[in-house]
Amino acid sequence: MEQTFVLVKPDGVQRGLIGEVIARLERRGLKLVGAKFLHVSRKLAEEHYAVHKGKPFYEGLINYITSAPVMAMVWEGPNAVAVVRQTMGATRPYEAAPGTIRHDFGLTVSRNLTHASDSVENAIAEITLWFKPEELVSWGRDTDRWIFESN
């Protein structure tokens, strides 16, 4: 079963949208398997966004993500990576489709509320960076067979 890494960024936390993000992912049928509320260190922020180092928005991005607490989560389900990216919407809220989180709550790219892994490979790397194996909860959910067919 696929897992993906999700952050409610500082603007989402400050605006009281943690519950909204969780509700949308739960309602979609995904299963929460890990969660922690933390203030991100500069070191962790730089590791997480290493791919953007040197870009014009990099310093602002690191300052933003370390400016206040975030909610870090791991969600699981069939095609979890693609499903969560779709629920979040395009990186730039003004390009995000109506009904997505970034559309419904955002205006600008530098305050776009959430992060979600963009590939299965990156999901594995990000989950490993943010969570210890024992912090992930393996659990059975009785409604799973009503959400997807599994044999």
What span, in angstroms and rounded, lies between the C-alpha atoms of 48 and 125?
A: 9
Q: Does 119 bind ligand UDP (CB under 6 A)?
A: no
Q: How many angstroms from the chain centroid is the CA of residue 103? A: 15
**Of 22-30, 93-101, 106-114, 142-150: span binding ligand UDP (CB under 6 A):** 106-114
* 87 assigned binding-site residue: no
Joined tokens for residue 144: 């799973």
Q: Does 118 bind ligand UDP (CB under 6 A)?
A: yes
* 141 assigned binding-site residue: no
> Packing angle between helix 120-130 and helix 80-88, nearest 10 degrees?
80
Residue with Cβ nearer ligand UDP (14 or 110)? 110
Closest CA to 71 of 132, 3, 12: 12
* 102 assigned binding-site residue: yes
Q: Work out how close the CB of 91 gets to ligand UDP at its nearest, in angstroms, rounded to a whole number.
A: 3
* 85 assigned binding-site residue: yes
What span, in angstroms and rounded, lies between the C-alpha atoms of 21 and 24?
A: 5
Identity of residue 98: P
Site for ligand UDP in 42-101 (CB under 6 A): 57, 61, 91
Joined tokens for residue 101: 């989180």
52 among known catalytic residues = no
Residues with active-site annotation = 115
Residues found near ligand UDP in the complex (CB under 6 A):
57, 61, 91, 109-110, 112, 115, 118
Sequence ranges of the binding site for ATP = 9, 57, 85, 91, 102, 112
